[in-house]
Structure 1
């Protein structure tokens, strides 16, 4: 059993993933409207349930990082082992969340390693962990890595090794929209669209190719340029983008995972963790 701090970080990561799932309308992504998996083929209730199966893995990652105290190759290998075991548990619980396991796992480990880290500092620690190769990873290439190689996209690994720039952009978008007086769901939707507007999402590249990726990025930018989801024009553009992506069956899953990472980072500090002044 991990420490109280490790358990708190794990529960915060699951809560961030759950908040991402609850947000609606999310263009091309599962949300509460998909109770019967009518559109995205991913049942929303099943995804919420399987998210809970990640908690023990996240707690184990936090404990490993706390024991290590440094972003070593050994820690990277241990996190990889825990992540693969967690994905197996999630598959038994209904599946999903592979990208979020990677994003949140690294950020949870970073937060455990330095409880005072926030925002960009947290991403910088995660970057140092991700810089090491996963020595025990399967030799066969993943779909994401194959797409990254084909199109020259950063992919999930590249995003982490760059210090999660889209998590940082999402955090900036959350702060900017909140400061305008908008409601919290609008701030989170604007953060999601900010990620979608520039991310080279390998899932989209796989299903829609470069043209489809640019189409989605342009649609996300159109919502933001219309004033964001808290304005009438922005909501109208969001509705159009949502209908378009559902009709095409295009899903920007990478953006959803990175939003979950931003929501986790945004939730710090947690009760029971030291503050920067401690």
Structure 2
């Protein structure tokens, strides 16, 4: 067939949700200047990551997100069987990611968060409000996957040591860092005319002000965590990333966290979750292909 005769394909709901999940990961990676995180400027506090690798990792997860959404559509309700299928798909997606990145953990936490949210959105596409989607995701997260391996990840080790809430608990509580901090800040900054990139940076900072980020705790302990939380709040107090004073504080925070080797990867995963929820919430109805 001649290329000019090709017609645009109508995407299924599962494909559209997978597109949105990957878009959220790429948007998060591209957002700049993020403190101590990989972005368009460089590698932040990382020696094994770069922007191209983050993009490749995100794209490699598209089939897993599509399969998760399709499983939710087929099961049609929250239940243990769906939860365990999602767990299997997530583990397979993680292996694909690791092959793509030559063993570097780029998006393990994001697979968990976005996988739950993709499935939750697919379960009831006519109910795409943030609180509804996160509630369904929480109900899934609370179910115990009998087939999940139980080696302690770095995040789980840190959560135990410091009593911090890890990615699992964040999901089980319905993503409070997204619902109570990131989304409201995103909308406030947009309403103030700060521009989309600055609004997204402010949303990330809002997450960082309160999150017990296990990535930071693992790399820099409680001192690193306090530096992150206080520094993020100081940027917002100075007027946010759209203000000159806020930008100066943001640069200072970036330098402080890099010096501590403290990269807020947990906050980055939750920003991707925020961007995903924001996109489906702003659509007229994901079942109608509004986005």
TM range (shorter): over 0.9
Aligned equivalent of 2:41: 33
Q: How many residues align?
A: 271
Q: State how far apart, in whole Å, the 2-side matches of 1:156 and 1:98 are.
A: 10
Shift of 1:248: 2.1
Aligned equivalent of 2:95: 88
Deviations 1:73-113 (A, max 9, x none): 11111111100100110111114111111111111001000
Q: State how far apart, in whole Å, the 1-side matches of 2:136 and 2:60 are.
A: 25
Taking structure 1 as the reference length, the TM-score comes to 0.94
Q: Is the 8 A contact 1:119 1:266 kept in 2?
A: yes
Aligned equivalent of 2:188: 176
Shift of 1:273: 2.8
Q: State how far apart, in whole Å, the 1-side matches of 2:150 and 2:31 are.
A: 36
1:164 and 2:164 matched: no
Choose the corresponding residue for 2:143, options 125, 132, 142. Answer: 132
Aligned equivalent of 1:242: 254
Choose the corresponding residue for 1:123, options 118, 134, 139. Answer: 134
Q: Is the 8 A contact 2:37 2:45 kept in 1?
A: no
Q: State how far apart, in whole Å, the 2-side matches of 1:226 and 1:176 are.
A: 15
Gaps of 5+ in 1: none
1:145 and 2:156 matched: yes
Choose the corresponding residue for 2:15, options 7, 10, 16. Answer: 7
Gaps of 5+ in 2: 1-10
Taking structure 2 as the reference length, the TM-score comes to 0.90
For the residue of structure 2 that corresponds to 1:274, the secondary structure is helix
The runs of at least 4 aligned residues of structure 1 exceeding 3 Å deviation read 269-272
Q: Is the 8 A contact 2:224 2:257 kept in 1?
A: no
Shift of 1:43: 1.2
Q: CA RMSD in A?
A: 1.5
Choose the corresponding residue for 1:215, options 214, 227, 249. Answer: 227
**Residues 146 and 38 from structure 1, CA distance in 2 versus in 1: closer, same or farther, beyond 3 angstroms?**
closer
Matches within 5 A, 1:74-113: 74-94=81-101, 95=104, 96-113=106-123
Q: Is the 8 A contact 2:209 2:229 kept in 1?
A: yes
Shift of 1:12: 0.5
For the residue of structure 1 that corresponds to 2:150, the secondary structure is coil
Q: Is the 8 A contact 1:5 1:272 kept in 2?
A: no
Instruction: Determine which structure has greater relative contact order: mean sequence separation of CA pairs < 8 Å that are 6+ residues apart, divided by chain length.
Output: 1
Q: Is the 8 A contact 2:213 2:266 kept in 1?
A: yes
Q: State how far apart, in whole Å, the 2-side matches of 1:231 and 1:205 are.
A: 29
Matches within 5 A, 1:220-235: 220-235=232-247
Shift of 1:247: 2.3
For the residue of structure 2 that corresponds to 1:268, the secondary structure is helix
Q: State how far apart, in whole Å, the 2-side matches of 1:69 and 1:142 are.
A: 31
**Residues 198 and 38 from structure 1, CA distance in 2 versus in 1: closer, same or farther, beyond 3 angstroms?**
closer
